[in-house]
Amino acid sequence: MILYMTQFIAVFAGVYYLLPNLILRRKTLLADAPGILLTFDDGPCQEVTEEVLDILAENDTNACFFVLGEKAKASKELMARMAREGHSIGLHGNTHRHPLSLTPKEQWKELSEAYQILAHLGLKPRYYRAPHGFYTLSSWLFCLNNGLEIVHWTVLAEDWKIGEAKSLTQRLMNRSAPGRILVLHDGSEGKADPNANHIMPAALKAYLKNWRAQGGLLTPWSDYEKN
C-alpha cells in the first residue's frame, strides 16, 4: 500500500507540477522583434503604476501588465487608464499565493475570481503569467479553457531587491537584447522588499533613456499581439 501511495504521489507531482513547468517556463525570445518588450507584474500599485504609465507614455510605447485581481478591483480608474492608453492586461492571479500552497480546486478558484473581477471592469485578459513563475496543471487547463496565452519572460532584473536605482538600471542594460521580454514589478508581493518597487520607476526611466541612446529599440506590446 505504501509503495502504491508513493508511486501515486510521484506520478501526480510529475503531471501536476513538473510537466507544466518544463513546458511553460521557457525563456521567451522573439527572434523577429527589433527591440525589447516590457511587462510588469504584481500590480497595480497606485503611486508606482501611475508613474510607470507616465514613463511609457513619454517613450511612446505600451506594455503588458500582469495584474492581481484584488488590486485591480481596488484600482478601477488605474485599470481604465491602462486600457485607454493601449496597454495589454494579463492575469497574474487574485492574490499572490504561491501555487504550491494551493490545492487544484483552490488554484482554479483563485484564477476564476481574478478573471471575473477583470470582466466586471470591462477588461478581457489575453495572457497569463503565474505568481513566482510557477505553473501547475490546474493553471494550464484554466488558460486553455479561457483562451489565455501563457507568457513567461526572458529577463529578470531582480527589482524586488532594495538597492540603488542606478544599480537596477545597469542590470537592465546588461541583460537587454532585441527580442527579449523583460519583467519588472510595479507591485510588491511575496519576499520582495516593500520599498523596492518605489525605486523601479526611476531606474526604468534612466534605462529607457540609456538603452535608446546606444541604439536600442523598444517593441510595443501591441506589435507582439499582431504576430
Q: Which residues are part of the catalytic machinery?
A: 41, 185
Cis ω before 20 (30° cut-off from 0): no
CA 188 – CA 186 distance, rounded (Å): 7
Determine the Cα–Cα distance for residues 185 and 168; give it in Å rounded to an integer.
12
Q: Taking a C-beta distance cutoff of 8 angstroms, is the pair 197, 48 a contact?
A: yes
How far apart are the C-alpha atoms of 172 and 192, rounded to whole Å? 18
Alpha-carbon distance 33 to 227, whole Å? Answer: 10
Three cell numbers, residue 144: 486553455
Is residue 36 within 8 Å of 176, Cβ to Cβ? yes
